[in-house]
Amino acid sequence: MVNIPYIICAVLSFIPALVLHEVAHGYAAYKLGDPTAKASGRLSLNPLKHIDLFGTVILPLLLMVMGWPVFGYAKPVPYNPRYFK
């Protein structure tokens, strides 16, 4: 049985959590001297820049339908360790 309030709460918390997580990676790299994430526009809170079709949409939906613990991932933020101070 589909629990609509659960799905709404899951989506409203899942997407922002993934986006904030990836932005935090990019911000940490930026503070260490790497401008790669900023140059590629990935220090944005816009979810469309971070959504991975399988990891952010398909996998969590499949897990939710099967009743398993829901997890997912977003596109990794690019970084270049050569820039690190």
- In terms of C-beta distances under 8 Å and separation of at least 24 residues, what long-range contacts does 67-70 make, across chains too? 70/10, 70/14
Can you give the pTM of this predicted structure? 0.83
Take residue 19 and report the two structure tokens written for it. 């986006």
- Domain coordinates of the chain in residue numbers? 4-83
Q: Is 22 a catalytic residue?
A: yes
Instruction: For residues 52 and 42, give the distance between their C-alpha atoms in angstroms, rounded to a whole number.
Output: 13
Give the active site residue among 22, 26, 56, 64.
Answer: 22
What are the tens digits of pLDDT across the range 17-33? Answer: 999 999 999 999 999 99
The answer to whether residue 69 scores a pLDDT higher than 80 is yes
